[in-house]
A and B are shown apart, each in its own frame.
Chain A
Amino acid sequence: MKRIVIIIWIFLPLVMPAKNQSKLFEKANHFYQTKNYEKAIKLYDSIIHSGYISAPVYFNLGNAYFKLGKYPMAILHYEKAKKLAGDQEDIDFNLRFSKQFISDKIEPIPELMLFRLWNQMVNKRSSEGWAILGIIFFWITLFFFSWMILFRKIWIKKTNLAFGLLFFVLFIFTLVFSWKRAAIESRYDYAIVMTPATSVKSAPDDESKEIFIIHQGIKIQLFEKVQDWQKIRLADGKTGWIKIDDYLVI
């Protein structure tokens, strides 16, 4: 009996959808489809408040905000979905689409080709997705090693060893990717500006000079906090200080 419980526990997260939340989700989708976006938002929010999150919930919530014309909120939730699930075609599309409706267009600092490819690879799956893939690769590795041991013929041993090592390298990569993604998923240092227009100051006090102005919907990176001021950086490298109630953290 105990063994069964343990086995169920090991495989539980792969099969268990929270039933209550699924029902709420369907209801919210229904409201969305009948164009009752406010109610849909309320229901999606109630799922999140109950302590359960998933990329589709954030994605649909973003869509509902988009339909109401609240583009900064839409962008915020698309980014949250992206943070959970990595790069996915529909999330990326809607995020890019929503960004057309905000006033600030920022050219990000270009990254090295290799660095960009690496990031693209890491963001292909969520941390959990990479972990599961890693487990599969590890099983395959040991499978090949087992064949290597069991067979006497030299050439069979050699091919099995080669395949085993190949999958072991893949396993190591997934482990690194999973670790990288976990770091992305657990960081809270990016935010979306919510105030229609806010001036960015050179120092954390009211009297300091305004350096530039940013508008709602823009993504910022957060650094240190001084009382109710937050040091921020834009994608193009500009830095400054804004009030902490001007943004919502992704």
Chain B
Amino acid sequence: MYMRIIILFLFVSFSYGKVWAQSFTVNPAATKMGLNQNMQVDFVAEGSNISEFKPPVFGAFNVLSGPRQSSMTTNFNGKITESYTFTYILQPTVKGKLTIGAASVKINGKVYKTNPVTIEVTDAPQNQQSGRNNPQNQPNNQSVNVKDNILIKAFVSNENPYQGQQIILIYKIYTAVQVVNYQRPIPKLDGFWVQQENIPQSPQGSEEMLNGKKYTVATIYKSYLFPQKDGENIIKPIDMEIVVRVKSKRSSPFDDFFNNPFFDSPFGYEDIKTKVTSNAIKVRVKSLPTNKPPYFSGMTGNFNFSVKADKTKVKTGESITLKAQVNGQGNIKLIEPFELDLPADIEKFEPTTKENISSTGDLVSGSKTFEYLLIPHKEGDYTIPSMSFSYFDPTKGRYITLNSDEIPISVALGSDKYHTQPQGVEQSDITFTGKDIQFIRLKPGIFKNSTERYFLTIRYFVLLLIPLILFVLLVIFKQKTDKDKQNIALMKSRRAKIFARKQLKEAGKFMKENKAEAFYLSVSSAFNKYICDKTGIPLSELSKEKIREELMLRQVDESLTAGLIAHLEDCEIARYAPSGAVLSLKEMYERSVELLLILEKQVK
């Protein structure tokens, strides 16, 4: 105990000396010790925000207890410092210089490490260091003596089972001394499904001879194993710590007195903790034959199978309870619910499971019942199909398939329509059961570069610009053609005078030759063409009304227009009825020339 006080003192003074410092140190209680002694080692971390303590490698030391944590907060001048102490109790396993490795801790985010410590372990106990005196501190010769008198043995009921076939694993303790306490064995059973039996802490013992020595024997562990893997499975040896009570042999003045067989007081005995190792066991697991039936349940053992319905005549909306029961010997816990293929009009709910397993004697047996709730929604005659249960019989060495009977069910129409929906269950929940997600897409779609952007890219603008440019071109083209058309009209109007004069000259020729009809024709055509060219009206659309309209638009005097129209009428009359001509050809010619001159002045 004083060691602890020293450590505490050291630690306190240390922390007062360097209040703001952060440190991590290791404090072994001693640097020299005996082989069967225990030693306390403290790891002290101080600072603030201490976390992530990583224990060191203890090497040849056994850790008897720890890490035990204790913490302290120091308030010095208002500055708060935390300190954590991690305490281990260690026991050396060999003699010599043993090393405790470095431990590490995070203080305020920074990692601190201790220095490795070397401890010298000697044969004899070092008196000056034995700060603690507890039952574990025993001289060497005692434990050697104890080890001869205590044994742990493992047994299996069958070293060569089939996969899934149940076997039994037992640990027995053989002892010639008094056992005070023992650790419950926890064997590592990889590759087995384990069902453990409860054994009382102080089991009933019996006497047995082994190698000519008399032992008290007790079963301390029993479990039922179902091998899951075929091939060689090894049950590794287990280490157990056992505390036994032996007579004290310490040399002291009272030795003889306490060794007196008549004085059987507890003072003459001491409790010794010792480590005992069991034997390993090899289990060769035979794999099952390959001709597995289609509905193989994975069970190995011996089973019965039955399927029963509580009713076979129901009305729609009423429920039927279908019980599928398996009973027998084997790993019943692992039986899974049976697939039940029912017509769509019978609604099926997830089965409830009842298990009844007992493990009396050497075999695990019991029954498992699946209760299916069925609700028919339409009337008619239905059949619940046969269900199959297959298992492997290890005694016969072959697979056995049990089939249930088909169960006919007749459903009559229920009186109340509301009963066609099961009560208490929401409609939406039902519609989703048994549904699945939608299937994957089979076409990859358009792959995109995951870094590329797709909004207002150059490409987008180009695709918008193409039609825009085309449109603008169209507008320009349209405007140009319109202009050209205007130009033609302009040219025509400019040349109209020349054409008209030419035509009139021709008419003058006809006048001299006295060809009246040709004369009138050229006069009227000269005026018509002149008006057409000036106004842009096609010749075919020309009429007296049109002439009047167009000349009015061009602000020609009404009297002039009337004169022109009268003149054209005169021409026509004279052309078709030469006898009705009022004026002579010459007069007509002079008037025409005069009219054209006035027109040219007024029509722009």
Contacts and interface: CB of A to CB of B under 8 A. Distances in A.
Contacts of B432: 97, 100
Contacts of A128: 454
A32 B440 contact: yes
Contacts of A161: none
A168 interface: no
B478 A149 contact: yes
Interface stretch (B69-77, B180-188, B378-386, B455-463): B455-463
Contacts of A179: 455-456
Interface string B432-456: 1001011111111111111101111
Given A131-B455, A178-B455, A182-B454, A52 B448 contact: yes
Contact of A97 (B437, B444, B445, B460): B437
A111 to B, nearest CB: 23
B468 interface: yes
B536 to A, nearest CB: 15
Given A63-B440, A94-B438, A146 B474 contact: yes
A52 B447 contact: yes
Contacts of B460: 131, 135
Contacts of A85: 445
B470 interface: yes
A182 B455 CA distance: 6
A59 B446 contact: no
B478 A98 contact: no
B444 A21 contact: yes
Interface SS of chain B: loop
B406 to A, nearest CB: 32
Interface string A91-120: 001100110100000000000000000000
A80 to B, nearest CB: 11
B598 interface: no
B467 interface: yes
A51 B467 CA distance: 33
A1 to B, nearest CB: 18
Contacts of B446: 13-14, 16-17, 54
Nearest to B471: A142
B464 interface: yes
B475 interface: yes
A241 interface: no
B472 to A, nearest CB: 10
Contacts of A97: 432, 435, 437
Contacts of A185: 454
Interface in B376-412: none
A149 B451 contact: no
Contact of A56 (B441, B456, B462): B441
A25 B471 contact: no
Contacts of B467: 138-139, 142-143
Given A142-B467, A186-B453, A149 B474 contact: yes
Contacts of B448: 52-54, 84
Contacts of A181: 455
A10 B465 CA distance: 12
A90 interface: yes
A48 B459 contact: no
A56 B438 contact: no
A145 interface: yes
Nearest to A63: B440
A54 B445 contact: yes
Nearest to A9: B459
A127 interface: yes
Interface of A: 9-10, 13-14, 16-18, 21-22, 25-26, 29, 32, 48, 51-57, 59-60, 63-64, 66, 84-85, 90, 93-94, 97-98, 100, 126-128, 131, 135, 138-139, 142-143, 145-146, 149-150, 178-179, 181-182, 185-186
Given A60-B441, A178-B455, A185-B454, 12 more contacts: A18-B447, A22-B447, A25-B444, A56-B443, A63-B440, A90-B441, A94-B438, A97-B437, A128-B454, A131-B454, A142-B470, A182-B456
14 contacts: A18-B447, A52-B448, A54-B444, A54-B447, A55-B445, A56-B443, A57-B445, A59-B440, A98-B437, A100-B432, A139-B467, A146-B471, A182-B454, A186-B453
